[in-house]
Amino acid sequence: VKARTRSAERTRALGGAIAAWLRPGDVVVLAGDLGSGKTTFVQGLAAGLGVTEPVVSPTFTIVREYEGRVPLAHVDVYRLDRVQELHDAGFEELVDGERITVVEWGDAVQRALPAEHLAVDLESGAAPDERLVEVHTQGPGWSDRLRAIEAAVARFGEEDD
Ligand SMILES: Nc1ncnc2c1ncn2[C@@H]1O[C@H](COP(=O)(O)OP(=O)(O)O)[C@@H](O)[C@H]1O
Ligand SMILES: [Mg+2]
């Protein structure tokens, strides 16, 4: 299902709307060019999980952890050259059923990511502040939430071209 946002604030709101449907153990994989709004989306998602600390890009640290109603791990693999570095950063231990793990730029390390995840793909729209956001679920673990998540995203506007 696709949404269109016309401001960073709306992309944050979309992240917040999706956060309501997340559970411990979930993995959310964000793809899109630099500046497409991945971190912006994570800021809204984190706020929706009750995180009060500001969410910034985990530049050079790879993983940042936040305390919300559910612990949140924010992973940015943009600068990783090899999947080995993801292992070294302790990625497998993060996805442990206790926290929600959000991975920015997951495409680069696709094969190291859990097969079951929520995929969020962002791309620029026609206007400078416009973004097209496509959300889809991977794997049977999401089937009971699929409709609800689709409805939440659809409220942010279908792509109409
Ligand atoms: N509709 C929108 N959605 C998300 N970000 C937007 C939007 N319009 C403008 N922006 C701006 O684009 C930039 C996105 O940056 P960021 O979220 O860090 O991207 P990424 O993590 O994908 O590199 C921010 O400066 C944000 O304010
Ligand atoms: Mg980012």
> Which atom of ligand 1 lies nearest, measured to the CA of 7?
1
Q: Residue 161: pLDDT above 50?
A: no
How many angstroms separate the alpha carbon of residue 36 from the centre of ligand 1? 5
pLDDT of residue 90: 84
Of 47, 88, 92, 80, nearest in space to 66 by CA: 47
> Which atom of ligand 1 lies nearest, measured to the CA of 34?
23
Q: Whose CA is nearest to atom 3 of ligand 1?
A: 8
How many angstroms separate the alpha carbon of residue 10 from the centre of ligand 2? 17
Of 149, 131, 129, nearest in space to 16 by CA: 149
Q: Whose CA is nearest to atom 16 of ligand 1?
A: 37
Which residues have a Cβ under 8 Å from the Cβ of 60 and sit 6 or more positions away? 79
pLDDT of residue 21: 97
Q: Where are the beta strands (DSSP E) in the chain?
A: 2-5, 27-31, 63-66, 72-76, 100-104, 117-124, 131-138
Per-residue tokens: 34: 């630099």
Q: Residue 103: pLDDT above 70?
A: yes
Give the Cα separation of 97 and 104 in Å (integer).
19
Q: Compute the radius of gyration of the chain from its Cα atoms.
A: 15
pLDDT of residue 119: 95
Of 55, 42, 52, nearest in space to 16 by CA: 42
Residues measured by CB to lie within 5 Å of ligand 2, the ion:
38-39, 57
pLDDT of residue 83: 77
Q: What is the pTM of this model?
A: 0.94
**Among 47-56, 71-80, 84-93, 101-110, the range of highest mean pLDDT:** 47-56
pLDDT of residue 58: 67
Range name among 99-103, 112-116, 135-139 with the lowest pLDDT average: 112-116
Sequence length of the chain is 161
pLDDT of residue 108: 64
Q: What's the mean pLDDT in 78-99?
A: 82
β-strand pairing of 27-31 with 117-124: parallel
Give the Cα separation of 105 and 74 in Å (integer).
11
Q: Residue 146: pLDDT above 70?
A: yes
Give the Cα separation of 38 and 28 in Å (integer).
11
pLDDT digit string (tens) for 23-36?
999 999 999 998 99
Which residues have a Cβ under 8 Å from the Cβ of 34 and sit 6 or more positions away? 78
Q: Residues lining ligand 1, judged by CB closer than 6 Å? A: 5-8, 10-11, 32, 34-40, 57, 104, 129-131
Mean pLDDT (the chain) is 90
